[in-house]
Chain A
Amino acid sequence: MAIITCPGDMPPHAAICVICNKEMPMHALSAGLYDADYRQAFACDDHFREPNRLIIGWTDFVVAERQRHLRLHANSLLLEEHDEWFIY
């Protein structure tokens, strides 16, 4: 079992796993990083059985979200301020 409670009046029953891109019920998901819109992202709990895939999956997710974030804020004069989510 993984996610058992989500915030909000109408919490979601399912979400997309950022690693395998499948829609999964919340109880099969684990919460990880935020996406470029500062929303909580999830991955299947089962991926914890495969450490290599877990690491590569989340890394590729950050790459994609970083690029999306930069596109979203491409017109901003102070790009670095918008990039703070990604600063390690």
Chain B
Amino acid sequence: MNGLYIERRTMHEGPLSRDLAYHLFTRQLPGKIVVIADKPIIMLSVVSKQWQRVIRVAQRERASTLKAVRIQELTRSLTHMQRLHMRAYNQPGNGDGSVTFMEVADAMQNPPDCKTLYITHRVDDETFARLIEHMPAGALVVKY
């Protein structure tokens, strides 16, 4: 599989967008991120909302800790989180985003070259192979 990590996520509690936002927190540094969704604009909207909740949890943790290095790291992380640019692939007027939401049809035409790919709905093996063909070795595919 191109030397990729493949992860299958099952929901613990709450919606997919919540799990994806927390997973995004753990993957926010290693390069570009693509989310494949049936309705990318709606998915962008709900993940952005959940992302704001993750930011608030991180802010609360920063406020409640006494460890200086942890406060410093959370401050760095929060700055990055607040600047993280999410966009839908076909949204006009936007340049590249750190997190791009796209439909599977668009991704089939332009297979993503990213370090993290989230696939939020079922795709067949052929489609899956096409989606990951440009991903670099060591990248991560997360399937819901």
Contacts and interface: CB of A to CB of B under 8 A. Distances in A.
Contact of A40 (B5, B61, B65, B76): B5
A4 B6 contact: yes
B6 A56 contact: no
B138 interface: yes
B74 to A, nearest CB: 6
Interface string A1-41: 11111111000000000000000000000111110000010
Nearest to A33: B29
A7 B5 contact: yes
Contacts of A75: none
B66 interface: no
Contacts, number: 92
Contacts of A31: 5, 7, 26-27, 140
A10 B28 CA distance: 28
**5 closest Cβ contacts across the A-B interface?**
A88-B80, A32-B26, A7-B3, A5-B6, A63-B73
Contact of B29 (A2, A7, A45, A88): A88
Interface string A55-80: 11011101100100000000000000
Indicate the size class of the contact surface on chain B: 35 or more
Contacts of A54: 22, 25-26
Contacts of B105: none
Nearest to A7: B3
Contacts of A86: 29
Contacts of A34: 29-30
Contacts of A8: 3
A30 B79 contact: no
A62 B22 contact: no
